[in-house]
Structure formats: C-alpha cells, structure tokens
Amino acid sequence: MSTVPEHSRQDFDADKTLQIDNVLAPHVHWSEIEETKHFVQFYETDDFLIDSLSGYISTGLSRGDACIVLATDSHRQGLEERLGARGFDLASLDGQYIFLDAAETLSHLMVDGSPDASYFTGVVGNTIERVAHGKRPIRIFGELVSLLCVDGNRTAAIRLEELWNELRHKQPFSLFCAYWMPSFNGQAYREQFREICKQHAHVIPSESYTALHDVDERLRAISLLQQQAISLRELEKREDAFISMASHELRTPVTSLKGFTQILQRRLKHQADPQSLFFLERMNAQLNRLTNLISDLLDVSKIEAGILELHQANVDCDELVRETVEAVQANCATHRLDIEGKTEAQVYADRDRLEQVLMNLLTNAIKYSPEADSILIRLRKVQGQVEVAIQDFGIGIPEEHQERVFERFYQVSGPEQNTYPGLGIGLYIARTLIERHGGCLWLKSRQGAGSTFYFTLPIHM
C-alpha cells in the first residue's frame, strides 16, 4: 500500500514548479479549492484516495459546508474512520454530512446502459437542493463515474460527467470525482482518458507521481497530464470565443441586409416587377435562415459560458404546442401535422425557449422525412410530468448515432444524412433547454422507419 507522508503537502506548497496550469500535485490544501470547481483525482490504492478524500471533506465540515459523499461502502468506512480520528462526530452532523451508496445510486440513474438526465436530476439534484439550506457551500464526492469505468462503460462515465457539469450551472457546488487509474490501462482508452480530463477544471495525478524524486521527471509527468487535460480544453475555449465573436459580428451586417431587402420589396410592389420580387423573396428566406443559424451559434456560446437566461412563467402546454404546430403548418405544404391527446396541464417555463425546442423538433421531422406526408405530435400526462412526442416516418437514425446526435456540432454521416445541410447544434440546444427546465429529451429510432423525439417537463401545480 502506498502512503504519502504529511510533509509532502508542505513540499508541494514550497515548490511551485510542481503546479502547471490546472494540473495539481497529488496533495493540495483543500481550503484553497474554489467552491464551484469540478476536479478529478486519479488513484492506484485506496489509502491514497481516502487520504485525499478525508482532507477534502474534513475541510468542508470545519467550514460549515454541506458535504455529500457518493462512495462505495469500503471507501465510506475508511473515510469515516479518518474523520473520527480528526475529531468529527458524524452522528451529530445530520443534514450536513450525507452518505449515498454509489452502486445503489447508480442503479437508479441508468437506462439502457447510459445515465438518464431526468433520473439524475431527480436523485442527485433533489439531494443537493435538500442540503442547500441558507445557500451554504456544498462539497460533493462522487465515484459513480469510477464504477462505470471499472465495468468498462467509459462512454457512460463521460456522459455522467457532462450531467454533473450541467447540474452545476443550476446549483453551484464543488465536485471531487475519483477514478481508479488501472481502469485506463492500454492505448485503446487514451482518448476516453483525455475526454474525462477535459471535463474537469483541475486534474490531480495518481500517487505514482510521488515516486518521481527528480524535479524534471515530475515536470515531465505533469506535462503529459497537461497535454491530455488542458490542450483540448484550451482549444475548446478558443473555439467558443471565436463562435461568440463571429456570431456577434455577423448579426449586424445580416440585420442591415434584411432591412434593405424589405425596403426593396416594398418599392418593387408598386412597379409590378414580379421576377425581381421573386428573387427578393428568395433572398429574404436565405437571410432568415442565416439569422436563425447566427442565433443558434449565440445560444451555444451562452450555454458554454453558463449565461443562458430563462424567463419563466406559467405556460399552458397544450396551447403552446397547438400554436407552434399551427405556425409550422402555415409554412409547410408537404406534410400534415396532426396532434393527438392533451395534457390539460401547465408548466413553469420560458415560453419562447420551449417554442424554440418545438420548432427545432418539428422542422427536423419534416426535413428528415421527405418521402412521407405526415408528422404526428402526441401529448399526454405521465407521473406528474407532461410528455410531448414528435414522430416522423422518414429515414431514421442508426443506433450507434442515436445518443451522439445531441452532442454539439455532431452530424450523422452517411449517404442519406449527408444530403441535409446543418451545423449539428439544434438538438444540442434543445436538450440543454429541456434539461434547464428540469425535464428530459430523448429519442427512439430505427433506420429506415423514422424517429420519435420525446421530451418531458414537470407539471406546475
């Protein structure tokens, strides 16, 4: 068993060369971790993990933070023994110290081998809300992701990390994740390891780092982690900055062009020039399309920056769906849009944003079912939620792409799908908006037999 002497913390503070950007030495002063940071600890032995975890939790308890621990029972025992040795009476900290069994909690979140966003919000999100009395800081330790990796389901672990990050936009908290390092052995898992590192603000290397006594060796070890955890994050930040800047810069000239086009349309109406009017109508339609693309790019930049605002009020679900369907139908001569059922319920939501989601799903359904002539919209109430389903009878989505279509800038590749232009951000925005409202968006599809997109929202009593 590998243990680290107490003086290693002092050595770390004295030797600032051992900290490069957001890669930290194996032991840090937990009081210096920012309240809303999401960081990851890699470990090889339980002692090393429990040493870090006990420092993290004891610092939080001393400061009056609410501490939630989602761990295996063996790690719980080791943690609570160390906390007891430090003088904490956990029985007297009811409401401040919460333990959830990691394996049992994980079993409540998984659907078809992947964590479900609505279940995650219901189980983990509700637990966080219960302990956040008086807006006190919250510290969370979670090794659900590690259990998924040990089972070989690294894709689900990455998705769970994304759900954690999305939840942090709604309720700030500090999150400490842990992974057993041997579960990443092998070249095949290098990209998944990099993706997991990218999901975190700080990466703390495993205890093998402490065996490197030469400063140059330590720097090389950290540099390797830095390449894996930072380079992609920095590239992504630059991409986000470019998208935001380009979107703002494009909006002004496009608005001007649209204004001039409308002026010309009004003037030509009096000159009886139908051909010129036809061309101007085509120009105006393309400008509308470009305006929508720019708005979507701005939404993506706001989502990534965590500044997307919602203006919520009571919304009649049936009325919103009916009005949105009527607006789409008015501009669609190729498909009949039929509504079945009703919810007779209200949701607490941003009406404009929900209309944006519906517009996206409806226009996608029309676009990807060119040989069909109808779209079916079904409404119902289920388990305290409204459910909206939009079914097309088009080309469908291959199974291996069905979860990835919700990723930012992801497009399904194939001879049929490549005929449909787009940036691959509409479904990413739609899912984010639904999840920000406390709901869930998913799909069922079979290649060649169409797709059905579902979303649920909590009923507002």
Neighbouring-strand partners of residue 42: 179
pLDDT of residue 15: 32
pLDDT of residue 193: 74
Contact present, 434 and 303 (Cβ < 8 Å): no
Question: Model confidence over 134-154: pLDDT tens digits?
Answer: 667 899 999 999 999 888 888
Neighbouring-strand partners of residue 372: none
CATH number at residue 327: 3.30.565.10
pLDDT of residue 299: 79
* Radius of gyration of the chain measured on its C-alpha atoms: 26
* Percent of the chain surpassing pLDDT 90: 33
Sign of CA dihedral 124, 127, 132, 137: negative
Domain assignment present for residue 157? The answer is yes
Specify whether 257 is located in the same domain as 221: no
More confidently predicted of 88 and 235:
88
Sign of CA dihedral 43, 47, 48, 50: positive
Question: Model confidence over 245-289: pLDDT tens digits?
Answer: 666 677 778 778 878 888 887 777 777 677 888 888 888 777 877
Domain assignment present for residue 2? The answer is no
Widest CA span of the chain, in angstroms? 90
For residue 419, pLDDT over 60 is answered with no
More confidently predicted of 202 and 457:
457
Residue 419 tokens read as 């005929």
Contact present, 221 and 23 (Cβ < 8 Å): no
Mean pLDDT of 317-342: 94
- Residue 430's Cβ-side half-sphere holds a number of Cα atoms within 13 Å equal to 24
pLDDT band at 181 (very low <50, low <70, confident <90, very high): confident
Specify whether 393 is located in the same domain as 317: yes
Sign of CA dihedral 241, 246, 247, 248: positive
Mean pLDDT of 157-167: 89
User: Looking at 170, 205, 229, which one is the last position of a domain?
Assistant: 229
Domain assignment present for residue 1? The answer is no
Residue 61 tokens read as 């308890």
Specify whether 432 is located in the same domain as 384: yes
pLDDT of residue 372: 92
User: Looking at 279, 305, 331, which one is the last position of a domain?
Assistant: 305
Contact present, 273 and 313 (Cβ < 8 Å): no
Residue 9: Cβ-neighbour burial (10 angstroms; 0-12, 13-18, 19+) = middle
Specify whether 128 is located in the same domain as 148: yes
Amino acid (1-letter code) at residue 51: D
b vs e for 392-425, b when ≥16 Cβ sit within 10 Å of the residue's Cβ?
A: bbbbbbbeebbbebbbbeebbeeeebeeeeeeeb
Specify whether 172 is located in the same domain as 214: yes
pLDDT of residue 458: 92
Locus of tokens 């975190």:
200
More confidently predicted of 340 and 14:
340
The set of residues, in sequence order, having a beta carbon less than 8 Å from that of 24 and lying 6+ positions away, is: 39, 202, 203, 204
Domain assignment present for residue 160? The answer is yes
pLDDT band at 12 (very low <50, low <70, confident <90, very high): very low
pLDDT of residue 2: 32
pLDDT of residue 103: 92
pLDDT band at 9 (very low <50, low <70, confident <90, very high): very low
pLDDT of residue 11: 32
How far, in Å, are 384, 385, 389 from residue 319 at the CA level? 19, 16, 15
Three-state SS at 355: helix
Mean pLDDT of 210-226: 53
Which of 92-96, 219-223, 421-425 is most confident?
92-96
Specify whether 447 is located in the same domain as 317: yes
pLDDT band at 225 (very low <50, low <70, confident <90, very high): low
Specify whether 140 is located in the same domain as 69: yes
Global pTM reads: 0.50
For residue 16, pLDDT over 80 is answered with no
Q: What distance in Å separates the CA atoms of residue 243 and residue 293, rounded to the nearest whole number?
A: 11
Specify whether 219 is located in the same domain as 325: no
Contact present, 149 and 157 (Cβ < 8 Å): yes
Least confident of 66-80, 317-331, 422-436, 437-451: 422-436
Amino acid (1-letter code) at residue 441: L
Q: Which helix (H) or strand (E) holds 163?
A: helix 154-170
CATH number at residue 254: 1.10.287.130
Mean pLDDT of 206-225: 55
Question: Model confidence over 28-54: pLDDT tens digits?
Answer: 556 555 555 788 888 888 888 998 899
Question: Model confidence over 61-107: pLDDT tens digits?
Answer: 998 889 999 999 999 999 999 999 999 999 888 788 999 999 999 99
Specify whether 111 is located in the same domain as 25: yes
Domain assignment present for residue 27? The answer is yes
For residue 302, pLDDT over 80 is answered with no
Which conformational region is residue 337 in: left (phi greater than 0), alpha (psi within -120 to 50 degrees), or beta? Answer: beta
Q: What distance in Å separates the CA atoms of residue 291 and residue 261, rounded to the nearest whole number?
A: 14
Amino acid (1-letter code) at residue 290: L
Which of 183-187, 301-305, 379-383 is most confident?
379-383
Specify whether 441 is located in the same domain as 381: yes
Specify whether 450 is located in the same domain as 326: yes
pLDDT of residue 6: 34
The set of residues, in sequence order, having a beta carbon less than 8 Å from that of 311 and lying 6+ positions away, is: 350, 352
pLDDT band at 131 (very low <50, low <70, confident <90, very high): confident
Least confident of 71-85, 116-130, 273-287, 416-430: 416-430
More confidently predicted of 177 and 238:
177
Supply the mean pLDDT for the chain.
79
Contact present, 297 and 249 (Cβ < 8 Å): no
Sign of CA dihedral 273, 276, 282, 287: negative
pLDDT of residue 420: 58
Domain assignment present for residue 121? The answer is yes
Least confident of 8-12, 317-321, 377-381: 8-12
CATH number at residue 36: 3.40.50.300
Q: How many structural domains compose the chain?
A: 3
Instruction: Please provide the distance, in angstroms rounded to a whole number, between the alpha carbons at the two ends of the chain.
Output: 55
Per DSSP, the residues of 207-275 read GGGGG--SHHHHHHHHHHHHHHHTHHHHHHHHHHHHHHHHHHHHHHHHHHHHHHHHHHHHHHHTTT-HH
User: Looking at 201, 229, 257, which one is the last position of a domain?
Assistant: 229
More confidently predicted of 285 and 365:
365
Alpha-helical runs (H) found in 37-143? 46-62, 73-85, 102-107, 117-120, 126-131
Segments forming the whole domain that contains residue 266: 237-305
Q: What distance in Å separates the CA atoms of residue 457 and residue 435, rounded to the nearest whole number?
A: 9
Specify whether 56 is located in the same domain as 198: yes
Q: What distance in Å separates the CA atoms of residue 78 and residue 222, rounded to the nearest whole number?
A: 28
